[in-house]
Structure 1
Amino acid sequence: MYLQVTTMASSNLKHAVIAFLAPVPSILFYLSFLNNQSHQTSSTGSLSPLWEWCYHHPLLLANALFFLNVNVLFWVISQVLSNHWMISLYWTVIPVMLVHYYRAHPLADYDWWRSIIAILMTWVWSLRMVHNYFRRENWQWSAREDWRFTNMTSQYGKHWWWASFFAIYLAQQVFLIGLCLPMYVIHSVNVPLNIWDFAAIMICISGIAIAYYADTQLYNFASKNKKLKALGEPVVVTLDEGLWRYSRHPNYFGEQLWWWGLAIFAWNLGHGWTFIGSFLNTMCLAYVTKLVEQRMLEQDYRAEAYKQYQKTTSVWIPWFKASPIGGKDKKP
């Protein structure tokens, strides 16, 4: 038993070190760019070709760093570890890195208050996500990889080693860079705060709060069932309390509110085209919702109860319970 605990602790430490070291190349490169840009501009008034390109193309630089450090390096690490756990963790961290990247870039031009508010909210969102990740994984690094990746492993078979680069890592670049485009806009347009900014703030904060409480209720439900199962007692087959009484996926609803709230910031600054990131995320969550519900229906012990739950409960947007035979049940 002692040997098993020691081995787990050693593995946990190893994966923690890997996770902390993984983004170092892009961080060091960006800091080197900022340092050289400041030094060369002040001393000679011009930049070397590399730093000149980095200076004039902040979005392309962000994509280049993401491609090399996340897509390529994280993928190589996943091949060595035979596990794609790290990208799930870094989904919660990369937006924080991007918002600071956009603010620190020499071409950044922004309203100080809007920038600080966006950064603080992004940190709160990230801390909630990180906390939920480790709570779900029993406070371990690399406890398991996303079940969707595990399913794809069996689907792609011997081709998974290369297909995973496109299905997991390149796809994450499209989603994360796209979702974080409003952070770039916030640090590219310098106009004072207005009423739409406050509307965006309220939507973002509401999204974070809803997702937090939904995930906490789901965690408590799973923990309770784990204890019941250990005692040999019947488990509760469906979570139908709290926010989950009014929505089958309130955590997904809260997450979408957060990203759509950020998109409102960009729309208010004249860049409504950045809604594309939130739209793609919503489409992705629609697909994930379908996969999750199929998984529920494949579990014989809860299939019938979940079918009933589907008939009476809204998919995403919290709403009153519906009667299985029509109408609305407005009882809380």
Structure 2
Amino acid sequence: MGKTKSNHSNLKNAIIAFLAPLPSIFFYMYFLNHYSDSEHSLSSLWSWCYQHPFLLANVFFFFNINVMFWAIGHLQSSHWMIDPYWTVIPLLLAYYYAIHPIATYNMWRSRIVIMLTFLWSLRLSHNYFRRENWQWGAREDWRFTDMRQQYGKNWWWVSFFAIYFAQQIFLMGLTLPYYTIHTVEAPWSIWDIVAIAVCLAGIVVAYYADTQLHEFSTKNAELKASGKPILPTLEDGLWKYSRHPNYFGEQLWWWGLGIFAWSLGQGWIFVGAFVNTLCLAYVTALVEERMLKQPFRAEAYRQYQKTTSVWIPWFKSSSLEETKDKTN
């Protein structure tokens, strides 16, 4: 009975997730099919959509993501849907800017960036659903759950700004390189090669880090199920050299994307990657605080903190060996 209910809920959430972006998609398709190449013959609405692709994207985000997802989240008492969409919104935006009538760009740069974004999105989506046991909406982000308890009866309106409006500002700023890439036509340069290398490195590092973390979690679940002690910390693979190699890989991706925009004369767009780094620094602090609150791994994690780099992979320090020598 419980399994049937779970399957029903999973199917329902999957359908909701697939239907949710349709208002924006249908409106945009209607615009593409009905706008006129002659700017003077456009109606005031179509003229605005034609002249302001970035603002139009923000309108879509505000009404279709902020308002609709927020309402669905309250109806379901779970703001889970923003997480799987975080992995596809950048891909949708890249394609949106590429097919906008006012777009002008280097075809190969555009195609390569969209292909890279597809790989990034596929990796992140795969990791999300693997972590969630291939379920749609099984749970919301633990940070949202903590905030729900913190704000209590005010959560219904705080959630709109804390989860959705804040993420609109964050995501639209972070994806500005896509807008630049599709509004500046410039020849291929060596910096495009550098950007591709950094983006690919970020995807590969994040994939292996997430896979190693998933294997560690799976092994601990098996140990717990068999009544054996679980492993307190993951210190193998990439995690031997960095406490958060998955975050490091994610930062490489966004900084690499920023290099594309920088090479087109829009270096200020690095502000998006910089803000993302600051946010990941905050998330890192939250995650490590959570680790230290778990009695079975607190001491081991403190030692891990002393010997292992936070983000950038590096060789372990000698702190652990010194500790062992003092103990002996």
2: CA distance, partners of 1:289 / 1:257: 16
2: CA distance, partners of 1:188 / 1:93: 22
Q: Partner of 2:183: helix, strand, or coil?
A: coil
| Superposition misfits of 4+ residues, deviation over 6 angstroms | none
Per-residue CA deviations over 1:10-58 (Å, capped at 9, x if unaligned) read 1110000000000000111111111111xx336x951000000011111
- Which residues in structure 2 correspond to 1:252-267 (within 5 Å)? 252-267=247-262
1:13 is matched with: 11
When normalised by structure 1's length, the TM-score is 0.95
Q: Does 1:200 align with 2:184?
A: no
- Which residues in structure 2 correspond to 1:139-288 (within 5 Å)? 139-288=134-283
Which one of the candidate residues 38, 46, 51 is aligned to 1:51? 46
2: CA distance, partners of 1:29 / 1:77: 20
Q: Kindly state the Cα deviation for residue 326 of structure 1 after the two structures are TM-superposed.
A: 9.0
CA RMSD, Structure 1 to Structure 2 (Å): 1.2
Q: Does 1:98 align with 2:93?
A: yes
User: What letter corresponds to residue 318 of structure 2 in structure 1?
Assistant: S
1: CA distance, partners of 2:161 / 2:318: 43
Number of aligned positions between the proteins: 322
Where in structure 1 are there 5+ consecutive unaligned residues?
328-332
2: CA distance, partners of 1:315 / 1:285: 11
Where in structure 2 are there 5+ consecutive unaligned residues?
323-328
2: CA distance, partners of 1:224 / 1:177: 38
Q: Kindly state the Cα deviation for residue 172 of structure 1 after the two structures are TM-superposed.
A: 0.9
- Which residues in structure 2 correspond to 1:109-120 (within 5 Å)? 109-120=104-115
2:23 is matched with: 25
When normalised by structure 2's length, the TM-score is 0.96
Question: Identical aligned pairs, as a percentage?
Answer: 65
User: What letter corresponds to residue 26 of structure 1 in structure 2?
Assistant: S
Q: Partner of 2:319: helix, strand, or coil?
A: coil
2: CA distance, partners of 1:224 / 1:134: 18
2: CA distance, partners of 1:120 / 1:143: 30
Q: Kindly state the Cα deviation for residue 174 of structure 1 after the two structures are TM-superposed.
A: 1.1
1:124 is matched with: 119
Q: Partner of 2:90: helix, strand, or coil?
A: helix
C-alpha contact (below 8 Å) 2:251/2:273 kept by paired residues: yes
2:326 is matched with: none
C-alpha contact (below 8 Å) 2:244/2:310 kept by paired residues: yes
Which one of the candidate residues 31, 34, 40 is aligned to 1:36? 34
Which one of the candidate residues 295, 300, 303 is aligned to 1:308? 303
